[in-house]
Structure 1
Amino acid sequence: MKNIRRPAHHRSRGPGRLAGLLMALLVVLGLSGSTALAAPGGTAQQAASTVRVPARAMDAVAAMQPSWNLGNTLDAIPDETSWGNPKATRELLKTIRAQGFRSVRIPVTWSAHQSTTAPYTVDAAYMKRVKEVVDGALAENLYVVVNVHHDSWQWIEKISTDHDNVLARFNALWTQISAAFRNEPRTLLFEGVNEPIFADATAAQKTRLMEELNTSFHKVVRASGGGNKDRLLVLTTQVGTPSQDLMDDLHTTIRALRDSNLVATVHYYSWYPFSVNIAGGTRYDEAARNDADDAFARMHDTFVAKGIPVYVGEYGLLGWPDHNHPSRIERGEALKYYEHVGHLARVAGVTTALWDPGAWAYLNRETLKWTDPALFAWIKSSWTTRSGTTSFDKVYVAKSSRITAQSFTLNLNGTKFRGLWHGDTKLAEGRDYTVFEDRLTLTAPALTRLTGDRGYGVNATLQARFSKGLPWQIDVVTYDTPVLSNATGTAEKFAIPTKYQGDSLATMEATYADGTNAGPTSWTPYQEFNKAFSPDYANGAIILTTETLKSLRDGEPATLTFHFHSGAELKYKVTKSGDSVTGTAVKES
């Protein structure tokens, strides 16, 4: 990983009441641009005075939409820059506000900065740093959510076997956080614990422990007084999972606490096979859409419909984007997910917080520019409207055969189809394309013109435009069926020579002759993209990972079936014998 510039941060030591008033005035006028993370000599309450928090929790959480996560920063272990991100700056928080976000979740891992024995003291310098970042966000007129993050799996999970010590440490932690932020404005929310898990516990024990953590968190914060008497408190399900049984448990806990300033939180990372591209989940298909439909409907029916606001503290895709590896999720399919989730959040009446791990995933925290502006445009558009799409964002035209018409399904999503454009030129309906009900067909003459000299790869990009939302891009791609070649390697390193010829890899199946699954994931023949295998387009290869190679049975050939986005399928046999691996392309019969 390249060196990352780490900007220095400081706070003025002078008392400077005048400076504090000046900074508050600058914030009101929108002129504050300091890289410092708190107003010199001022208070967060002064700086955040322009935000009027609605009295009702439901309205306050609605005002927090949309939200963004300062991920892999204060939650990094052991320190803020340990996971590749620079220190958080005021300019970063200003950028987030300017990009349309109304709240920021600041995950915090305390374990490396808290004593493991009574009285479980948090290091004063670390508490000060957390407060700096929080105050900087409040000064930018953002709502802020602060939590206890990776502590959940570092030490809180041991509560089932070390109950008294863990609970005492948890309570001591929240006692100190509550004291440090006691007088902060109500734009600051507390979240008890992130994605709690409980090791070595039965289902019944987990339910009881989850209730105990939520209620203990609530009791400690409320007892601290000051602004914490009516501060919005965010309570979670086990692991942040939005399943019906776990949300029912949380609903029971919230009702029993009889507190109108409580918020339910869950996380949503899509249908697992799609989110990581495993078990054939290469498309945002009916199964993936239904998973999202059901999850957000459950959030609404369990909480929102009963007057309890929901904050989806993290959403995104588990394996995307990852700019350090080949994209495991096809781009257009990922855009469909973000478009759909934005719509579902509006229908369900919940607030969503994009999980941004930094390190060039969404917002580049060095340049303060979006790594993929078009992706962010789709996310931002989904906050207010729907956009139309098609069944796929590529049309593959084989170079080795005659060009024929090709069709798509139009996903109107409540819009009306307005036509196709190539650059500034509108294509002619009837000549270049036809539409029948939800079927869009590109004619053979149009594809012949658009593919030009028919070089492998993207020859042209079309825009399908709709009555509202963003235009949908369709790439016209010339390809031929990829070619795999024989190879030898070791149990540590093996690559299949591959001529992609304009195509791209979707997934890989792996089986033995007896029908059992091969590869590191035993419950499905479709192995996980980038974990079991990965395309190397630049060097013309498909790489089998060390994890896959070591999982193969010695001396027993495994048949790999590679699926490409064009629809092509190629078989390949791999045999491991001791430390050597041989691969043979299977010829079509």
Structure 2
Amino acid sequence: MFVAGGTTAAAAPAHRSVPSDPMAAVAAMQPSWNLGNTLDAIPDETSWGNPLVTKPLFDTIRAQGFHSVRIPVTWSGHQSAGTPYTIDATFLTRVKQVVDWALADGLYVELNVHHDSWQWIANMASDHDTVLARFNATWQQIATAFRDEPRSLLLESVNEPQFNNATDAQKTQFMNELNTSFHTIVRQTGGGNASRLLVLPTLGCTPDQTLMDNLSAEMTSLHDHNLVATVHYYGYWPFSANIAGTTRFDATTQQDMVDTFARMRSTFVAKGIPVYVGEFGLLSYPDYTQPDAVERGEAMKYFEQLGYQARLSGVTTALWDAGSFLNRTSFQWRDPGLFAQIKSAYTTRSGTASTDTVYVPKSGAVTAQTLTLNPNGARFLGLWRGTTPLVPGRDYTVAGNQITLTAPELTTLVGNRAYGVNATIQARYSSGVPWSIAVATFDQPVLSAATGTGSLSVPAQFRGDRLATMEARYADGTNAGPANWTSYQQFNTAFSPDYPHNAITVLPTFVNAITDGSPVTLTFHFWSGTTVTYHVTKSGTTITGTT
């Protein structure tokens, strides 16, 4: 048997008590975590930057309060491309070892067919019979290999299924065909598979009402009580990707979340069908290899409310983690405060505020600043700096949900007003985690002229500020860039701040999309509220920037 890092092979998995009622069983899986970018990595387990999985990883996940793990697996690179589509025995043994480690920790496990969805399953419209034959052969082998595992193992037919060059009617047909075939094959292998909980996705795992209605009808037609619906949720797309100027967890973004989870409840949960949100998160946050595309405080609000909406709707949620939340080498959370917010949201609400940073100008008199508290049903207890409470009436005042930091207190907090964060205070509430508020000194950022080939590194003195977004327009006012339907371009796709090297990079995706010889005005928006304009012109492969 494959042994990673000298770890011995797994003992027989723990046969934990699993409720017979599917709703209760899926509820017992909350909260859940994804072993992302590992066994689903292409071509091999470590190809996407994560280390080999060892048993201590699951020990950590269990100790951190998770009750289940989703283990995505891409099988195609370990399977013959032609009939009989044999899965490599060594790889199958390795997958089983990892699954058994998690089961031995008393965790529920959800196992799937992952990136195969776009690698070959997507070709169903043009090569229907071959795709179906390979899909059936794949599941025949997986189901046989895992037939005797305990009921705490769940099987998911396919991750985010998609179909190239297919009509909507064909997509619905193919989706039903795959789910039905998966159901038949797994059940016929017998053993634990005869009554195992089987997880069926919507097209793309999208929580669209029509797609969920299609899945609900399909599940009803199967006449099987032990079925689970799965969808994914990455939030309102403009916010999740930081595009079109949607930099805040605003009313539109919040309503998208409220409506989506309400649809899950009315379509499935209210009918007795459990829902497993197999992936949740934000598309662009966090990514420890890049600057934060979504501002941290706005992301914290998102995760706080998502936990609440999941509880209201009665669904189980699996955090997508490709290595950006948990460091798989040290087994430490890369951002403990963020994880604390996510973990708290599984059971209670936390108060937040309109911002997590108060910006104080470098020069001039320090003036009082007001924030809006968002108690989320909790009671505001006061402000603290470390273990020291700030004094109401002297250091801050409260009027309704408005809290004002007084000028004398801000003067104390910023000290000598060095650029950047000078102090951090906390708003504490009667439940959940405290809300951290950084107090930072800033001046208007200064950009300098530059020339580049293919991309442009703009020298930038950030002077204590942080970049929120970038607008781009031609001289006639029309939008410039790859997302030409909006003036606000996508963070880390069209542009990206490079704080360690004091630069803003205008990325090749943006440069390639603008018209040769046509000047473009860029407007950089910073979190202090400051804006800075910059002008770029492309000539062949050269791009020039001026202030």
TM-score (norm 2): 0.98
Q: Distance in 2 between matches of 1:260 and 1:36?
A: 38
The residue number in structure 2 matching 1:35 is 7
Match of 1:184, SS state, is coil
1:288, CA displacement in angstroms? Answer: 1.3
Aligned partner of residue 497 in structure 2, secondary structure: strand
Hey, what's the Cα distance between the residues in 2 that align with 1:562 and 1:104? 41
1:78 aligned partner, one-letter code: P
Same amino acid, percent of matched pairs? 62
Aligned CA distance change for structure 1 residues 86 and 10 (closer, same or farther; 3 Å): closer
Q: 3-state DSSP class of the match of 1:364?
A: coil
Task: Verify the 8 A CA contact 1:74 1:80 in the aligned structure 2.
Answer: yes
Verify the 8 A CA contact 1:491 1:576 in the aligned structure 2: no
Query: Is 2:411 the counterpart of 1:417?
Result: no
Assess if the C-alpha contact under 8 Å between 1:35 and 1:91 holds in 2.
Answer: no
Q: Is contact 1:66–1:101 with CA below 8 Å preserved after alignment?
A: yes
**Conserved 8 A contact 2:36-2:321:** yes
Alignment match of 2:526 (pick from 556, 564, 570): 564
Displacement of 1:582 after TM fit? 2.2
Are the counterparts in 2 of residues 37 and 135 from structure 1 also a CA contact under 8 Å?
no
**CA distance in 1 between partners of 2:46 and 2:381 (Å):** 48
Check conservation: 1:276, 1:529, Cα contact below 8 A.
yes
Picking from 444, 464, 473, the partner of 2:436 is 473
Q: Structure 1 residue 10: deviation in Å?
A: 6.4
Q: Distance in 1 between matches of 2:363 and 2:176?
A: 63
Partner of 2:366: 403
Q: Please show how residues 323-472 of structure 1 align to structure 2 within 5 Å.
A: 323-358=288-323, 361-472=324-435
Give 1:9's match in structure 2, choosing from 3, 6, 23: 3
Greater shift in the superposed pair: 507-516 or 148-157? 507-516
- Provide the rounded CA distance (Å) in 2 between the counterparts of 1:490 and 1:447: 42
Counterpart secondary structure, 1:430 = coil
1: CA distance, partners of 2:230 / 2:394: 52
Q: CA RMSD in A?
A: 1.3
Runs of 4+ in 1 over 3 A off after TM superposition: none
Q: Supply the AA of the counterpart residue of 1:135.
A: D
Matches within 5 A, 1:212-361: 212-358=177-323, 361=324
Equivalent position amino acid for 1:514 in 2: D
1:35 deviates by: 3.3
- Mapped to 2, the partners of 1:540 and 1:60 lie a distance apart of 51
1:286-341 deviations in Å (ceiling 9; x for gaps): 11111111111111111001100000000111111111111111111111111111
Query: In the aligned structure 2, how far is the partner of 1:83 from the partner of 1:165?
Result: 29
Show structure 1 runs of 5+ residues with no match: 1-7, 12-33
* Pairing of 1:65-76 with structure 2 (within 5 A): 65-76=30-41
Contact 1:532/1:548 (<8 A) preserved: yes
Partner of 2:490: 528
Q: Point out the more displaced range, 573-582 or 465-474.
A: 573-582
Aligned to 1:513: 475
CA contact (8 A) 1:192 1:234 kept: yes
Structure 2 residue corresponding to 1:555, chosen from 496, 512, 517: 517
How far off is 1:581 after superposition? 2.3
1:158 matched to 2:123: yes
Rounded Cα–Cα distance in structure 2 between residues aligned with 1:355 and 1:37: 26
CA distance in 2, matches of 1:81, 1:223: 34
Q: CA deviation at 1:37?
A: 4.2
Q: What count of residue pairs does the alignment treat as equivalent? A: 546
SS at match of 2:133: helix
Q: Distance in 2 between matches of 1:576 and 1:115?
A: 47
Aligned positions of 1:163-202 closer than 5 A: 163-202=128-167
TM-score by length of structure 1 reads 0.91
SS of the aligned residue for 2:501 comes to coil
Task: Render the CA deviation track for 1:425-470: whole Å, top value 9, x for unaligned.
Answer: 2111111111111111111111112111111111111100001111
Matched, 1:100 2:55: no
Q: Could you tell me which of 103, 106, 113 is aligned with 1:138?
A: 103
The unaligned stretches of length 5 or more in structure 2 are: none
Shift of 1:540: 1.9
- Relative to structure 1, is the Cα distance of residues 10 and 560 closer, same or farther in structure 2, using a 3 angstrom cutoff? closer
Q: How far has the Cα of 1:74 moved from its partner?
A: 0.8
Shift of residue 120 of structure 1?
1.4
